[in-house]
Amino acid sequence: MHIETIPAPALDWQEEALCAQTGGDFFFPEPGSSVREAKRICSLCPIRSLCLDFALEHDERFGVWGGLSEKERLELRRAGR
Ligand code: SF4
């Protein structure tokens, strides 16, 4: 994530991010690796919808955000979300 480029108030919600407690490795796996564990953690995260909205608004291209993989977010954008 490029947090330093985003104004701090916009990131207040990330204080509740479950992935902040687990580390980012699950969320930015090597190409072809499973994202199952990241998705499982996201499914328990209290800010999942905020996270997904943020990723879509900022066109985040890499990693799992809000429980969706890069490919799934791309499909969502193409479907006109
Ligand atoms: S939804 Fe997933 S990626 Fe987003 S903050 Fe929560 S655990 Fe992290």
CA of 54 to the centre of ligand 1 (A): 11
Domain that holds residue 70: 14-78
Is position 8 within any domain? no
Considering the chain, what is the average pLDDT of its residues? 87
DSSP string covering 13-38: GGGG-THHHH-STTTSPPTT---HHH
Which residues touch 24 (CB under 8 Å, ≥6 apart)?
1, 63
Tokens of 21: 């407690």
Q: Does some domain include residue 4?
A: no
29 inside domain: yes
Candidates 16, 19, 37, 57: which one to mutate for ligand 1, based on the most atoms within 8 Å of Cβ? 19
- Asked if the structure places residue 40 within a domain, the reply is yes
- The verdict on residue 66 lying in a domain is yes
In the DSSP assignment, the letter for residue 24 is S
Number of Cβ within 10 Å of residue 35's Cβ equals: 20
CB distance 48 to ligand 1 below 6 Å: yes
pLDDT digits 0-9 by tens, 24-56:
889 998 888 899 999 999 999 999 999 999 999
68 forms bridges with which residues in the sheet?
Answer: 65
Number of domains comprising the chain: 1
pTM: 0.81
- Residue 51 inside a domain? The answer is yes
